[in-house]
Amino acid sequence: MDIRRIAKEAGEEFSIKIKDLTIGNGNFLVIAGPCSVENNEMIIETAGFVKSIGADMLRGGAFKPRTSPYSFQGLKEEGLKMLKEASEKENIPVVSEVMDPRDIEIIYPYIDMFQIGSRNMQNFSLLTEVGKTDKPVMLKRGMAATIEDFLLAAEYIAAEGNDRIVLCERGIRTFESYTRNTLDLAAVPILKKLSKLPVIVDPSHGTGMRDLILPMSLAAMAAGADGLMVEVHPEPACALSDAEQSLSFEEFERLIDKVKETKDFFMDMRKGRA
């Protein structure tokens, strides 16, 4: 496996700065927000709530890759403008997905971190172009990607000079059909062993079931994840995408309470002091 720029050497662990945030190296990050930016009122309300409860970053999709071409595809640049307004109003940095190299220049001024979604993990043209930017990149594992595939995709970004990469385990396709995907938490310690990059977990896409998000979040913390990314919506039943896996405000508050309650224990466990 030829990972030159992101390989861990002599216990090296990389941390990434985004404004006042530090991702990795003992810090635990929570990214929260709706799957899609639907309107201005909704994204501002959600940003204000998740920030007040303890989220560190806001997520929201403006360019949405959907399985069906007839599903809601996002509000494009108009959605990015709403996301930026919410970010500035609530003083919370944002991450949003880029799907096409031609959109990088459009998205760049609105976001603090690019997201490369699972369907584009091996879009090598896109990886190469975001690697030429100076903004952090969250790379999500492809639906059928091996760990080697995943790390080599990250290397495409780093090879262009940008090694400010966050790896995101979001589940893979297996023969199991009860959950949306199979959340591969064994990948977390493996990725942290092989690479110097921070690793976060997305239990929303990893399971597709809101009642599994809390236990899988705690399991991710125990596995050594550097953070979580979860979908939160004011009215999950009305969400234009991923309704079944979106947490309500009340459910997100319960998740954050549990994360705060157990974070120190898991951090101590990782350091061998528990």
Residue 3 lies in a domain: no
Residue 221 lies in a domain: yes
For 18-34, give one letter per residue: b (16+ CB within 10 A) or e.
beebbbbeeebbbbbbb
**Position 42, amino acid:** M
**Position 70, amino acid:** Y
Task: Write the DSSP symbol of residue 246.
Answer: P
Mean pLDDT, rounded, for 43-63: 97
The whole-angstrom separation of Cα 135 and Cα 165 is: 9
Q: CATH number, domain at 200?
A: 3.20.20.70
Residue 7 lies in a domain: no
Predicted confidence band of residue 66 (pLDDT cuts 50, 70, 90): confident
Residue 136 lies in a domain: yes
pTM equals: 0.96
pLDDT at 265: 86
Residue 89 lies in a domain: yes
Q: In sequence order, what E strands does 128-273 have? A: 137-140, 165-169, 199-201, 227-231
Residue recorded with tokens 């199991």:
176
pLDDT at 274: 47
Residue 1 lies in a domain: no
Cα–Cα separations (whole angstroms), residue 32 to 90, 101, 258: 13, 25, 15
Structural domain count, the chain: 1
Q: Domain range for residue 50?
A: 16-270
167 burial (CB, 10 Å; 0-12 / 13-18 / 19+) is buried
Residue 196 lies in a domain: yes
Residue 121 lies in a domain: yes
pLDDT at 272: 66
Task: Write the DSSP symbol of residue 101.
Answer: G
Q: What is the pLDDT of residues 178-237, one digit of tens each?
A: 999 999 999 999 999 999 999 999 999 999 999 999 999 999 999 999 999 999 999 999
Distant-in-sequence contacts of 267-274, Cβ < 8 A, 24+ apart: 267/26, 267/28, 269/222, 270/224
Task: Write the DSSP symbol of residue 72.
Answer: -
